[in-house]
Amino acid sequence: MAYSAKRKLAEKIQIQFIEADMDIGFGLVDEAKALRASGQLESCLRVLNDAEEIVADIERRLEQLGATESEAFYPLLFELRNEITEVARE
């Protein structure tokens, strides 16, 4: 397999990991909201911490991609960060 084909495959895999991490991050935010609503503050904070770790993973993965491939993810990442912050403030 040529170098450029391997590079493209690696980028595709990174993008799939980022997409999965985004899904997990938003799922964790939803879980944190439900936990907060049911009065389980300690569990809510643990889940929010997990979501923040996912954000850090996404940021690391985006740094490995080129600007063109990563730019589409920044609005979603911004939204995910905002939701985490919003739940933490409630």
- Name all contacts of 48-56 with Cβ < 8 Å and 24+ positions apart: 48/84, 48/87, 48/88, 51/25, 51/80, 51/84, 52/84, 54/21, 54/24, 54/25, 54/28, 54/80, 55/25, 55/80, 55/81, 55/84
Which residues form the domain of 51? 3-89
Q: 62, 70 in Cβ contact below 8 A?
A: yes
Check whether 2 has a pLDDT greater than 70.
yes
CATH at 9: 1.20.58
Confidence class for position 87, pLDDT limits 50, 70, 90 = very high
Count how many domains the chain has.
1
pTM greater than 0.85 (yes/no): yes
Confidence class for position 56, pLDDT limits 50, 70, 90 = very high
